[in-house]
Amino acid sequence: MTILTLAPTSALEAINRMLATIGEAPVNSLNTNGLGDVALALAALQEAAREVQERGWNFNTDERVNLPLDVNGYIWVPTNALRIKPEADQQIRVAVRGNPPQLWDKDHNTFVWTSSTLLFRIVYMFDFESLPDVFRRYIAIKAGRIFQEQLVSSQMLEKYTAQDEYEALALVQDYDTDTQECNMIYNSPSSALMMTRSEFEWIW
């Protein structure tokens, strides 16, 4: 029996699907030098990828992360962190400030921390081709719909619709629910409770 091997959606494949929606020929490379429809499509894909990941999903959210103090007592925020907040059992207030970003102690108005045991919940931003494939497809459809609306209005071309995007989002939500349920099997009840995004009030 022949086993079918499915390759995850690549960034190049996503861009070519987006170009097809405006009647453009596919390309062999994403090296655009910042010009033309390929560059616009790539920008739309990157923006959609960030927007989707900012919501915080099971695959890009870590809990009870310890961020160590440096020699000056500063806590530096990971460069790919989209959101960060203290865990619910820690009575501290923080903000993200500076470039590169670091944590500001709002209770004492300082960047200097004295505790090395602080734990945080962090939502990360990942490269498109590091995402689960169901997220890649959803992002490509979302970006493609916006891209084609920005560039053309013809009803004769192949196009993504709001319905396509809705159906892709439903698959993403199913995937996220399934992977959360798997984690809950191995996590404590208190950890499982913290998986509910609605309980968190993000600071960044």
Write down the pLDDT at residue 127: 96
Burial category of 10 from C-beta neighbours within 10 Å (exposed 0-12, middle 13-18, buried 19 and up): middle
Residues 172 and 143 in one domain: yes
Whether 163 and 77 map to the same domain: the answer is no
Q: How confident is the model at residue 154 (pLDDT cuts 50, 70, 90)?
A: low
Assess whether 115 and 80 both reside in one domain. yes
Residue 49 falls inside a structural domain: yes
Examine residue 3 and state whether it is found in any structural domain, yes or no: no
Which 8-state DSSP code applies to residue 40? H
Structural tokens at position 14:
């996503």
The answer to whether residue 112 sits within a structural domain is: yes
Domain membership flag for residue 204: no
Q: pLDDT tens-digit profile of 93-151? A: 999 999 999 999 999 999 999 988 999 999 999 999 999 999 999 999 999 988 988 88
45 shares its domain with 141 = yes
Separation CA 163–CA 56 (nearest Å): 23
Q: Are residues 136 and 45 in the same domain?
A: yes
Residue 198 above 80 pLDDT? no
Scanning the structure block, which residue is given the tokens 């970006």? 143
Q: How many CB atoms lie within 10 A of CB 74?
A: 15
Q: Please state, in angstroms and rounded to a whole number, the distance separating the CA atoms of residues 188 and 195.
A: 11
Q: Is residue 92 part of a domain?
A: yes
Distances from the Cα of 127 to the Cα of 47, 50, 55, angstroms: 12, 9, 16
Pair 46, 137 in one domain: yes
Question: Which of these three, 124, 150, 171, is where a domain ends?
Answer: 124
25, 75: one domain: no
What phi and psi, each to the nearest 5 degrees, are found at residue 35? Answer: -125, 155
Hey, what are 86's tokens?
């203290």
Range of the domain at 164: 11-56+129-196
177-190 confidence digits (pLDDT tens)? 999 876 655 554 44
Of 124, 145, 161, the one marking the end of a domain is 124
Q: How many domains does the chain have?
A: 2
CA 139-145-147 angle, 5° bins: 95
The pLDDT value given to residue 2? 60
Does residue 65 fall inside a structural domain?
A: yes
| 24-33 residue pLDDT tens | 889 998 887 7
Whole-structure pTM value: 0.81
Report the phi/psi class of residue 34: left, alpha or beta, with left for phi > 0 and alpha for psi in -120 to 50. Answer: left
Identify the domain boundary among 76, 97, 124. 124
Same domain, 20 and 120: no
One domain for residues 50 and 65: no
- Burial grade of 11 (CB within 10 A; 0-12, 13-18, 19 or more): middle
**What type of residue is 204?**
W
In a domain, 203, yes or no: no
